A and B are shown apart, each in its own frame.
Chain A
Amino acid sequence: MEHPFTWYSLLPYPLSRIAEPNFTALIIALVVIGLALAFRSALQRAKDPVIPDRGITLRNMMEMLVEIVLGLSDSIIGKNGRKYVPLFGTLFIFILIANLSGLIPGVTPPTSSFFVNLGMGLVVFVAYHYFGVRANGAHYIKQFMGPMLMLAPLLFVIELFSHIFRPVSLSIRLFGNMFGDHLVLETFSNLTKLVIPVAFYILGTLVSVIQAAVFTILTVIYVAMAISHEH
């Protein structure tokens, strides 16, 4: 089943050497960087940064997104999780824009490729272990040992596998949702041309936002578990 038409297929030779998911991911990353720079300059240009702009502007939208991610991090980790918010916010905004780009006809979202998602999952994997070691020092290893020293060899293997499969399950979840959603939309657009696919566009918007939120929430929870001092 080949995709009917993508804007990517129109690219000239040197650019078409880049694989499609990589190329779209690159474009989305550039869009995210552009948004961040525009937001920064809008904050600097404002007379009083505390007073929000009037109406719907880029600054208001970005502040809303930041508020959502900040609220999420505060409600799960607490106030001392604020230094990890840049990671969560970057993931959330990147995945959200990447997912929503799939709604443009002729664009395959980069998150419907497994390896783009695996890249993000591995970043999360490395990041939360790093945060855990930085917060707990050598005691971080105790999280893998379980409550008793006798059970440690058994539990260490179990914990190891559960940690290894975290990035894999994160990326398969995002990949399956976006790929399946795109496939459903494509199949129904081929079956019925006019009104019916709109329902699947609504479903696609819903899935895009929810999956971006789920990826971010799981990242926040993994970081919260890694930096906790409970064990």
Chain B
Amino acid sequence: MRKLLSFVAAAVVGVFTSGIALAAAEAAAPAAGDYSRAALAIATGFAIAIGAFGAALGQGRMAAAAMESIGRNPNAADRIQLPMILGLAFIEALALYAFVIAFLLQGKI
């Protein structure tokens, strides 16, 4: 009985490890080109994510300051709006550079 149990356990372990080994072999088998594709996919996501993150922080600070000054002095709203939109456009351009790069990378996957 003990012999049978140990045999079954050994068989189970053997099957599992062989599965892992097989999976490892399968993962190792593809050519290096697939790794670069994976790296491209990760880079695409992170490019636009980091770009959008920084631009969002910058635009948030800018809009907060503009809102605060409009709240303090509502008569100056017209004068504040134009530079605010300009500044937002400048910050947004940085996010758009990230977007363009992300799109270039995405085309290479």
CA distance A27 to B36 in the complex (A): 43
CB nearest to A211 among chain B residues: B89
One digit per residue, 1 when the CB lies within 8 angstroms of any chain A CB and 0 when it does not, for chain B 73-109 equals 0000000001001100100110011011001000000
With A173-B89, A214-B89: A75-B96 Cβ-Cβ less than 8 Å: no
CA distance A100 to B97 in the complex (A): 23
Does B85 lie within 8 Å of A172, measured CB to CB?
no
Does B97 lie within 8 Å of A172, measured CB to CB?
yes
CA distance A214 to B92 in the complex (A): 11
Q: A43 near B: Cβ within 8 Å? A: no
B49 to chain A, nearest CB (A): 15
Does A172 lie within 8 Å of B82, measured CB to CB?
no
CA distance A201 to B96 in the complex (A): 20
Q: A223 near B: Cβ within 8 Å? A: no
User: Which B residues touch A210, using CB under 8 A?
Assistant: 85, 89
For residues 158 through 196 of chain A, which have their beta carbon under 8 Å from a beta carbon of chain B? Answer: 169, 172-173, 175-177, 179-180
Does B82 lie within 8 Å of A176, measured CB to CB?
no
User: Which B residues touch A214, using CB under 8 A?
Assistant: 85-86, 89
CA distance A177 to B89 in the complex (A): 10
Q: A213 near B: Cβ within 8 Å? A: yes
Q: A103 near B: Cβ within 8 Å? A: no
With A172-B97, A172-B100: A177-B82 Cβ-Cβ less than 8 Å: no
CA distance A169 to B96 in the complex (A): 10
CA distance A217 to B100 in the complex (A): 23
User: Which A residues touch B96, using CB under 8 A?
Assistant: 172-173, 176-177, 180
Q: A18 near B: Cβ within 8 Å? A: no
Does B86 lie within 8 Å of A173, measured CB to CB?
no
Q: A218 near B: Cβ within 8 Å? A: yes
Among B85, B86, B100, contact of A176 (Cβ-Cβ < 8 Å): B100
14 extra interface residue pairs, beta carbon distance < 8 Å, beyond A172-B96, A172-B97, A172-B100: A169-B93, A173-B93, A176-B99, A176-B100, A177-B92, A179-B103, A180-B99, A211-B89, A213-B85, A214-B85, A214-B86, A217-B85, A217-B86, A221-B86
Can you list 8 A-B contacts (CB < 8 A)? A169-B93, A172-B96, A173-B92, A175-B100, A176-B97, A210-B89, A217-B82, A221-B86
